[in-house]
């Protein structure tokens, strides 16, 4: 063995020892003093992994203390590491303080950290509150925030994004007693999470709090579910039932986001609406909306092209209703009320003339009424087709499974028409009539709208 190899091995061993020693020091300094739940001290993910330590000692402050440890094997070929906090400007996240082991400079929203021969550390305190751009900024409209009761954190509001830094990360959470972590990352030793190489750029939502947690392992995928206690909240078993129902409909687990997925259910008072990351969702306890968002693990931009948003959102809207009902998370009356409200919304939006779903899809980004028509008319076209197929002893589920599984190609509108024609030629004309022509759907014989389901936004 030559001298260079010996030196490299010695340096790598020193890095490992330094990182574990740092972790032990942090645990001893902040753990007992803050009354934090005990977590594993050995969080080393290898000399090629960045270590992230997230401490929420005083959740009522709304802030987290984060340490980033970058080994020399990650920064060795770089003289400067450049990073930003993606949500500082657009999402209202705020950085209270930041310091580093090396020379740190800031210009606007961009930071530069000078690298050297020693491992780098970055320590900062951050408020990870995030409001979707253009949305109201009431407290319950935040998609990421820390409170005394619980937290939902958006990864791009919590962690920095380094340019050209592809190393994976391990994450250790130091939390109040009884708080648990619900994240779409593999767990090691009950406290260390392997966030992978996309930790700084991929949006995910992580639940932190006194959640009831259950895990489902099926079809080669792992689904982690956390629900908050409360009178009107969903039980973890109900969420698992929704996931299992959608697995049965589609016949396989999702693709494209790894093999671990997470769903967090929070009280309505904590969050209005909801949010979805690549492999995670956070929602209030509305079974239809939750089922819709979980279905997006399959029906998303990777599998369905933008021109077919009528399918990606409209047919997903229908399958959210169908799945919630099949999983017994909704009663038949609740599912019917949702469809009735969607029907009333569609008729109201088309009161001055029908619009084809293809035209609605084209205006999806620019016209709020066209966007709602994509959801309402898309869902009701799916209902109309599914009913017709059921009368023939068949199901729309077959189209969904062929389009969304295994997810190794992207379907556009023409591809979906071709697929439908191949599977159900006798109904292709029905699909094309409402998809391509400005014609209203026939009477679907639904009950009267109540406007109470929460499924519709535009009602007479």
- CATH code for position 48: 2.60.40
Smallest Cα–Cα separation from 382: which of 300, 297, 312, 298? 312
- Residue 361: in which H helix or E strand, if any? helix 357-362
**What does DSSP say about strands 260-265 and 280-283: parallel, antiparallel, or unpaired?**
parallel
**What does DSSP say about strands 120-127 and 192-196: parallel, antiparallel, or unpaired?**
unpaired
Over pLDDT 90: what percentage of the chain?
73
**Which class for 114: exposed (0-12), middle (13-18), buried (19 or more C-beta within 10 A)?**
middle
**Which class for 34: exposed (0-12), middle (13-18), buried (19 or more C-beta within 10 A)?**
middle
Question: If DSSP codes are grouped into helix, strand and coil, which group holds residue 145?
Answer: strand
Output the six-digit token pair for 221.
């995928």
Output the six-digit token pair for 274.
């909801």
Which residues, 6 or more positions from 27, have their beta carbon under 8 angstroms from its beta carbon?
39, 41, 174
Residue where a domain stops, chosen among 131, 156, 175: 175
Give the residue-averaged pLDDT of 203-217.
95
Output the six-digit token pair for 388.
């017709």
If you average pLDDT over every residue of the chain, what do you get?
88
Both 169 and 310 in a single domain? no
- HSE of 411 in the Cβ direction (CA atoms, 13 Å)? 26
Asked if residue 232 belongs to a domain, the reply is: no
Residue where a domain stops, chosen among 141, 158, 175: 175
pLDDT tens per residue across span 398-428 = 999 999 997 778 999 999 999 999 999 999 9
Residue labelled with tokens 């639904």: 446
Strands of the 260-265 sheet, one edge to the other: 212-218, 221-227, 260-265, 280-283, 275-276
Asked if residue 142 belongs to a domain, the reply is: yes
Exposure pattern of 40-61 as b/e (b: 16+ CB <10 Å)? Answer: ebebbbebebbbbbbbbbebee
Which residues, 6 or more positions from 367, have their beta carbon under 8 angstroms from its beta carbon?
none
Sign of the Cα torsion 128, 132, 138, 142 reads: negative
Both 312 and 165 in a single domain? no
350 or 255, greater pLDDT? 350
**What does DSSP say about strands 260-265 and 110-114: parallel, antiparallel, or unpaired?**
unpaired
Exposure pattern of 76-100 as b/e (b: 16+ CB <10 Å)? Answer: eebeebebbbbbbeebbbbbeebeb
Asked if residue 67 belongs to a domain, the reply is: yes
What angle do the packed helices 316-326 and 236-250 form, to 10 degrees? 120
- HSE of 387 in the Cβ direction (CA atoms, 13 Å)? 13
Asked if residue 81 belongs to a domain, the reply is: yes
DSSP 311: I
Asked if residue 407 belongs to a domain, the reply is: yes
pLDDT tens per residue across span 86-114 = 898 765 789 999 999 989 999 988 999 99
Asked if residue 21 belongs to a domain, the reply is: yes
180 or 28, greater pLDDT? 180
Q: Find the CATH number of the domain harbouring 403.
A: 1.10.390
pLDDT tens per residue across span 305-354 = 999 999 999 999 999 999 999 999 999 999 999 999 999 999 999 999 99
Residue where a domain stops, chosen among 175, 202, 227: 175
pTM value is: 0.85
Residue labelled with tokens 């639940």: 207
DSSP string, 15-84: HHHHHHHHHHHHHHHHHHHHTBPP--S-----TTSEEEEEE-S-GGGT-EEEEEEE-HHHHTT-SEEEEE
Asked if residue 273 belongs to a domain, the reply is: no
Report the alpha-carbon distance of residue 221 to residue 244 in Å, rounded: 11
DSSP 286: -
Report the alpha-carbon distance of residue 227 to residue 239 in Å, rounded: 9
Q: How confident is the model at residue 74 (pLDDT cuts 50, 70, 90)?
A: confident
Question: If DSSP codes are grouped into helix, strand and coil, which group holds residue 152?
Answer: strand
- Is residue 44 predicted with pLDDT exceeding 60? no
Smallest Cα–Cα separation from 113: which of 148, 38, 54, 163? 163
Domain count, the chain: 2
Asked if residue 121 belongs to a domain, the reply is: yes
Domain that holds residue 373: 306-436
Q: How confident is the model at residue 35 (pLDDT cuts 50, 70, 90)?
A: very low
């Amino acid at each position: 063995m030559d001298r260079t190899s010996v030196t490299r091995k010695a340096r790598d061993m020193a890095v490992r020892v330094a990182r574990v020693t740092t972790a032990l020091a942090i645990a001893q300094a902040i753990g007992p003093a803050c009354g934090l739940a005990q977590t594993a001290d050995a969080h080393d993910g290898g000399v090629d992994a960045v270590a992230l330590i997230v401490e929420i000692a005083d959740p009522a402050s709304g802030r987290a203390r984060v340490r980033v440890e970058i080994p020399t094997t990650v920064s060795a070929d770089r003289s400067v590491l450049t990073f930003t906090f993606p949500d500082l400007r657009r999402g209202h996240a705020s950085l209270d303080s930041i310091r580093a082991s090396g020379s740190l400079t800031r210009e606007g929203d961009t930071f530069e950290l000078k690298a050297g021969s020693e491992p780098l550390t970055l320590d900062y305190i951050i408020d990870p509150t995030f409001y979707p751009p253009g949305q109201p900024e009431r407290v319950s409209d935040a998609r990421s925030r820390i409170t005394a009761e619980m937290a939902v954190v958006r990864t791009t509001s919590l962690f920095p994004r380094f340019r050209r830094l592809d190393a994976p990360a391990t994450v250790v959470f130091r939390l109040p007693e009884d708080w648990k972590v619900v994240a779409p990352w593999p767990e090691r030793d009950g406290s260390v999470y392997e966030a992978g190489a996309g930790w700084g750029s991929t949006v995910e939502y992580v639940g932190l709090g006194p959640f009831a947690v259950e895990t489902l392992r099926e079809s080669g995928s792992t689904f982690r579910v956390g629900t908050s206690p409360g009178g009107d909240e969903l039980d973890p078993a109900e969420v698992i039932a929704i996931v299992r129902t959608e697995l049965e409909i589609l016949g396989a687990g999702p693709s494209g986001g790894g093999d671990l997925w997470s769903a967090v259910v929070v009280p309505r008072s904590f969050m209005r609406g909801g949010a979805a990351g690549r492999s995670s969702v956070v929602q209030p306890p509305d079974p239809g909306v939750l089922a819709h968002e979980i279905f997006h693990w399959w029906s998303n931009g990777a599998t369905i092209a933008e021109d077919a948003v009528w399918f990606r959102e409209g047919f997903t809207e229908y399958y959210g209703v169908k799945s919630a009902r099949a999983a017994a998370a909704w009663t038949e009356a609740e599912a019917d009320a949702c469809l009735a409200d969607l029907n009333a919304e569609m008729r109201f939006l088309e009161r001055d003339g029908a619009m084809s779903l293809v035209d609605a899809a084209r205006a999806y980004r620019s016209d709020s009424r066209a966007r709602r028509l994509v959801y309402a008319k898309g869902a009701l076209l799916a209902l109309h087709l599914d009913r017709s197929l059921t009368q023939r002893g068949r199901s729309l589920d077959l189209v969904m499974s062929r389009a969304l599984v295994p997810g190794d190609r992207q379907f556009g509108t023409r591809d979906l028409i071709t697929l439908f024609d191949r599977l159900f030629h006798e109904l292709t004309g029905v699909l094309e009539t409402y998809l391509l022509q400005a014609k209203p759907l026939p009477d679907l014989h639904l009950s009267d709208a109540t406007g109470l389901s929460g499924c519709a936004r535009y009602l007479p």
